[in-house]
Amino acid sequence: MKTAPNSVSAYLSEIGKRGGRKSRRHLSPEDARNMVRIREARKAFRQFHAQCFWFMREDMEVKLADVPEIARGLRLNGGRQGFILAAKLCQ
């Protein structure tokens, strides 16, 4: 098995370090929770669209402001599974 020359290894190592430094996020706990809420609301919207959200566009971009409406729709029309998901979204 051949190994890369030292100059190539050093170059790859350096760009890897830079990429790692650039991509690190500094999120507050509230921002992190909101990101999770949005992700879970988007999943629930896709999963329950025909059952609960038939009156909304299927390709709607779910944002943080939409989470209470998604939770309400799940509570009203999502059955037991939707009710549980709504409770998780409202935490």
Say if CB 84 and CB 77 are below 8 A apart: no
Report the b/e string of 11-45 with b at 16+ CB within 10 A: eeeeeeeeeeeeeeeeeeeeeeeeeebbebbbebb
Q: Is the pTM of this model over 0.85?
A: no
Say if CB 64 and CB 34 are below 8 A apart: yes
> What is the domain extent for residue 43?
28-89
Residue that wins the pLDDT comparison between 65 and 27: 65
Give per-residue pLDDT as tens, 34-91.
999 999 999 999 999 999 999 999 999 999 999 999 999 999 999 999 999 999 998 8
User: What band does 21 get if pLDDT is binned at 50, 70 and 90?
Assistant: low
Residue 61 maps to a domain: yes
Residue 22 maps to a domain: no
Cβ neighbors of 90 (< 8 A, separation 6 or more) are: 68, 71
Residue 26 has pLDDT above 70, yes or no: yes
Residue 54 maps to a domain: yes
Quick one: which of 75, 73, 62 has its CA closest to 34? 62
Residue 45 maps to a domain: yes
Residue 15 maps to a domain: no
Residue 41 maps to a domain: yes
**Total domains, the chain:** 1
Residue that wins the pLDDT comparison between 14 and 54: 54
